Amino acid sequence: MQYTMAKKLYVGNLSYSVTEESLKEYFSQAGVVESVMILSDKITGRSKGFGFVEMSTEEEAQKAIEMFNGKELESRPITVNEARPREEGANRFNRGGGFGGRSNRGGFGGQRNNW
């Protein structure tokens, strides 16, 4: 008996009005949807315009890519491809300068009690 792992897909260029429920319904045309997650901004709660859909089999995931990549969903052409795993230990803000790393400078760019 061969066990097939569920396959996670990246879905980009989503309209801000797309919900997890509507995305699940849309992708169910390709097969069984195990989970859906649309990322949202922590402060505003507004969608970031992308998310992840996990299909139950690799075959269904491939079918979803073929069916939906470049197709319009709520008047926007969506991007659908295989999700890449997160890099272990990588700080998403540390890209050669910027905001990366930990420091004792405080949350707003410097020691604040210098008056």
pLDDT tens over the chain, length 115 residues = 455 556 999 999 999 999 999 999 999 999 999 999 999 999 999 999 999 999 999 999 999 999 999 999 999 999 999 998 877 665 555 545 444 444 455 555 555 555 4
**Residue 23 domain-assigned?**
yes
CA 51, CA 48: separation in Å to the nearest integer?
A: 8
> Buried b / exposed e across 35-59, counting CB within 10 Å, b at 16+?
ebebeeeeeeeebebebebbbbeee
Domain annotation covers residue 35 = yes
Q: Residue 103 domain-assigned? A: no
Residue 20 lies in a domain: yes
Write down the pLDDT at residue 39. 97
Q: Domain containing 76 — which CATH number?
A: 3.30.70.330
Query: What is the domain extent for residue 76?
Result: 15-82
Residues 6+ apart with CB under 8 A from 70: 77, 78, 79
Q: Please tell me the total count of domains within the chain.
A: 1
Residue 99 lies in a domain: no
26 falls within a domain: yes
Whether 102 is in a domain gets the answer no
Question: Do the domain assignments include residue 22?
Answer: yes
